[in-house]
Amino acid sequence: AQSVTQPDIHITVSEGASLELRCNYSYGATPYLFWYVQSPGQGLQLLLKYFSGDTLVQGIKGFEAEFKRSQSSFNLRKPSVHWSDAAEYFCAVGVKTSYDKVIFGPGTSLSVIP
């Protein structure tokens, strides 16, 4: 069965420090991969997506993610974190079936220390 894991429940970083959020998935084929961000009390916003091609994808707000097929991973990175990046981050896998099926990870909560 398909699944998504985000090993880190909560991460705290200092403002200006680099960030890497981990995501691993379980799926038999090459999936579509997404990262979403959710600010408190808000809906989810799509940060970036990987469908095919270049395994390093750029997203909004200075985020990037790298797809590594051999490790079944899709880690999210940002070189310098801003206080406004504090939020919940969800990794998701889109499964190619006859219809849209998206599986979300449990989320990683990011705190930023000024």
Partner 1 sequence: KAGVTQTPRYLIKTRGQQVTLSCSPISGHRSVSWYQQTPGQGLQFLFEYFSETQRNKGNFPGRFSGRQFSNSRSEMNVSTLELGDSALYLCASSLGGTTGGEQYFGPGTRLTVT
Query: Rule CB under 8 A: which residues touch partner 1?
Result: 31-32, 34, 36, 41-46, 49, 51, 90, 92, 94-102, 104, 106-107
Contact (CB, 8 A) for 46 and 38: no
Nearer residue to partner 1 within complex by CB, 28 or 114: 28
CB of 36 to partner 1, least distance (A): 8
Other C-beta atoms within 10 Å of 78: how many?
Answer: 21
How far apart, in Å, are the Cα atoms of 25 and each of 14, 35, 64?
A: 28, 13, 18
Nearer residue to partner 1 within complex by CB, 66 or 104: 104
